[in-house]
Amino acid sequence: MTQPAIYDYRKYWAECFGPAPWLPMSRDEMDQLGWDSCDIIIITGDAYVDHPSFGMAVIGRVLEGQGFRVGIISQPDWRNADAFKALGKPNLFFGIAAGNMDSMINHYTADRKRRNDDAYTAGDEAGRRPDRAVTVYSQRAREAFNDVPIVVGGIEASLRRMAHYDYWSDKVRRSVLMDSKADILLFGNAERAIVDLAHGLAAGKTIEALSELRGTAVVMNKPRAGFRVINSTSVDIPGVVEPHLNPYEGMNTEVCDNEAASNGSGAGSDAVQQAEPVTLLASSAPDRDVIRLPSYEAVRDDPVLYAHAARIMHKETNPYNALPMVQAHGDREVWFNPPPIPLTTPELDWVFEQPYQRRPHPDYGDKKVPAMEMIQHSVNIMRGCFGGCTFCSITEHEGRIIQNRSEDSIIREIEKIRDTSPNFTGVISDLGGPTANMWRLACKSEEIEAKCRKLSCVFPGICKNLNTDQTPLVHLYRRARDIPGIKKVLIASGLRYDLAVESPEYVKELVTHHVGGYLKIAPEHTESGPLDQMMKPGIGSYDRFKAMFDQFSKEAGKKQYLIPYFIAAHPGTTDTDMINLALWLKRNKFRADQVQTFYPSPMALATAMYHSEKNPLKKVDRGSKKVPAVRSIKQRRLHKAFLRYHDPDNWPALRDALKKIGRRDLIGNGPMHLVPSRQPPKRHRVVKSKPGRSFRTQHTR
């Protein structure tokens, strides 16, 4: 599976123009660069921020680094095609993305209410992108130039690449490829695929000739010739039928510690069994097998088949053993190639060291892009997450195999921020990534990693084959804070505390030097029911970490605090679970101001649970145990109210619920009661706004 490094391709002829100060957003900018046309035009739903945390900037600079002339059309008026002609006709293709977030999550709250702001737009202005932006932008681009190939990517396209449950319409929708009528879809971090595609098209190849690229999906009339099509029920049986052979040739079913069975070591007493022994298929060419998923029409009409398809898809995410998949949509077929091979450390360094300006395009003037303000002085050190949390989009989009930058590259970026950012105060706001402490952590054996099909390396317990040594990360922290001119290096990314407690030296280093008074972590719940469905560790791991945190804070002479995050209304959560969580919060004197209600994002396993009320972490059949799904708005708001048990506005609803559940003992005015028996008179209060703000990120929830 070796592939050429993405920086080793022969550069396209337009390299002679050199890198642009800014990727042009207007004809005037193109004229100043001496361009008569763009080779590639990227259309995005975000404001153009030339920073490696913004997808359009990364893809644009990567393509520029290959010698192509890349223009950007940011947040075009989608009501007609004129705005899509602003830079003229691209020579190779339009690259279309909704932005750093799915447009529906960007627009609507978990209660399906319209948001009145947009952190990825200059001036925090809402309404600058359409709902289902990938589809709408693709249609307008086709109207503008109907003979130009359309390539869709980014998180919206990635997570909607197959038939998927859509929370906002409460139905299963087709692959976004079908609705957008794009020529090809790139999923996940797409640098490798976009480089291959661009050079292929520049060489005169067609999309069809490039349709076997890893990390891509295409629509075709029938499955590709030369492949043996294997029904997904041969891999996992959604019902009581005769067992079939399956295509997992060469898989050692005991390669991982908890792969076969583990019933007593997880978050609760009924820890999820993540994989089952399989029968091996005798095949002379397993690399020419393709798994047929149930059709769009089948999963649309049958929630059990939907859960089954979700399970199969997530089992085929290891790039070193995943098979291609195909799913019928009417009389057409959507073909999904295996995931891309992860970037090597030198390749990832190359991606992050392109000539980013690290600020918004000058056209925005004094308007701030809130998302940029939050991450302007942060440094991303890695990609991916092997946690596998079922509600999270990181794993589906970035993969389970951690991709690491080198220590030297990270240090160079910190020095660049110090030397070039006009408002830098000496504080690096975050040194992390999707997770704060997975940098350089991986399976101890490449052979085992290549065969493993586990959905998580840390649930129901930490796999014995996982390297958990945090010594390199401790060394990075020390080197970063020793850079002249750096006053403080904070760690603000999501910390995996069940990993952290395996290395007390790491926790001491973190707590002593890299916490700015508060550290946010996400136990998500206290009860085994929802935690098992989330694939999160039990609250005991949090207790161990808190003990270390308090000890090392005291030794450092600092008053520091943990801020735990929790999710309400996650599949598997009962009203009793929320009562117990509220009581835990009260015992521990936590009063949560910002709380999160479960958001069924496209393609997440927890979304499959929400829609089907089945658990795709286990084999799915029609007799499978039902997973409680909190679906009504009233019950979702009630679960959220339990997280804010201290808010008088929630007390009437909580009192009514406690009476119905038979927990009147929790109503009263004593220290062990959850809510008082009487409602206080309403008073007019002046609420002072606090400085700073937070913004939503689809990466974590």
Domain containing residue 120: CATH number: 3.40.50.280
Find where tokens 């153009």 sit. 48
- Judge contact between 10 and 196, C-beta under 8 A: no
Long-range contacts of 680-684 (CB under 8 A, 24+ apart): 680/648
> What is the mean pLDDT of the segment spanning 203-212?
97
Q: To 10 degrees, what angle do helices 504-513 and 471-481 make?
A: 20
Give the pLDDT band (50/70/90) at residue 3. Answer: confident
Most confident of the ranges 226-235, 268-277, 389-398, 600-609: 600-609
CB 472 within 8 A of CB 413: no
Q: What is the pTM of this model?
A: 0.91
Residue 264 lies in a domain: no
266 domain-assigned: no
Of 459, 458, 558, the residue nearest 508 (C-alpha)? 558
The torsion defined by the Cα of 218, 222, 226 and 230, in degrees rounded to 10, comes to 90
Distance in angstroms (rounded) separating the CA atoms of residues 220 and 212: 12
CB 274 within 8 A of CB 454: yes
Taking the C-alpha atoms of residue 5 and residue 402, their distance in angstroms, rounded to an integer, is 18
Closest CA to 92 of 46, 42, 34, 45: 42
Residue 687 has pLDDT above 60, yes or no: no
How many whole angstroms separate alpha carbon 649 and alpha carbon 326? Answer: 50
Q: Look at 34-43, 133-142, 217-226, 245-254 and tell me which has the smallest mean pLDDT.
A: 245-254
The answer to the question of residue 234 being in a domain is no
Average pLDDT over residues 395-413: 95
pLDDT exceeds 70 at position 603: yes
Is 237 a domain residue? no
- The amino acid occupying position 445 is S
How confident is the prediction for the chain on average, in pLDDT? 90
Within-domain flag for 506: no
User: 251 is written with which tokens?
Assistant: 């898989």
> Apex CA 445: angle with CA 441 and CA 448, to 5°?
110
Give the integer Cα–Cα distance in Å for 594 and 582.
14
pLDDT at 660 over 90: yes
Query: Could you give the angle at which helices 191-202 and 55-65 cross, rounded to 10 degrees?
Result: 40
Q: How far apart are CA 335 and CA 329, in angstroms?
A: 11
For residues 411-415, average pLDDT: 98
Q: What token pair was written down for 85?
A: 């002609």
Q: Is pLDDT at 396 greater than 90 in this prediction?
A: no
In angstroms, the CA 105 to CA 41 distance is 25
Lowest mean pLDDT, pick from 169-178, 597-606, 630-639, 681-690: 681-690
Which residues is 165 bridged to in the sheet? 172
Whether cis (ω within 30° of 0) applies to the bond prior to 21 is no
pLDDT value at 567 more than 90: yes
Structural domains of the chain, count:
1
The predicted structure's pLDDT at residue 381: 98
Residue pair 523/564 in contact by the 8 Å Cβ criterion: yes
Looking at the chain, the whole-number percentage of residues with pLDDT higher than 70 is 90
Exposure class string for 411-422: b at 16+ Cβ within 10 A, else e: bebbeebbeeee
Report the distance separating Cα 696 and Cα 3, nearest Å: 36
For residue 99, give the amino acid letter: G
What backbone torsions phi and psi does residue 227 show, to the nearest 5 degrees?
Answer: -105, 145
Could you tell me the pLDDT band of residue 234, with boundaries at 50, 70 and 90? Answer: confident
In this prediction, residue 592 has a pLDDT band, given cuts at 50, 70 and 90, of: confident
- Residues 259-276 have a mean pLDDT of 36
Mean pLDDT calculated for residue range 132-161 = 98
Average pLDDT over residues 65-92: 98
pLDDT at 690: 43
Whether residue 578 lies inside any domain: the answer is: no
Higher pLDDT, 283 or 426: 426
Q: Which residues share a beta bridge with 432? A: 380
Assess if residue 197 is contained within a domain. Answer: yes
Assigned token pair, 320 = 């070193």
- Nearest-10 Cα torsion for 458, 461, 463, 467: 60
Res 684: pLDDT: 53
Looking at the DSSP bridge assignments, the partners of residue 73 are 43
How many percent of the chain have pLDDT more than 90?
Answer: 84
Q: Provide mean pLDDT across the span 304-322.
A: 95
Confirm whether 88 is domain-assigned. Answer: yes
Q: Which domain holds residue 157?
A: 13-218
pLDDT at 473: 98
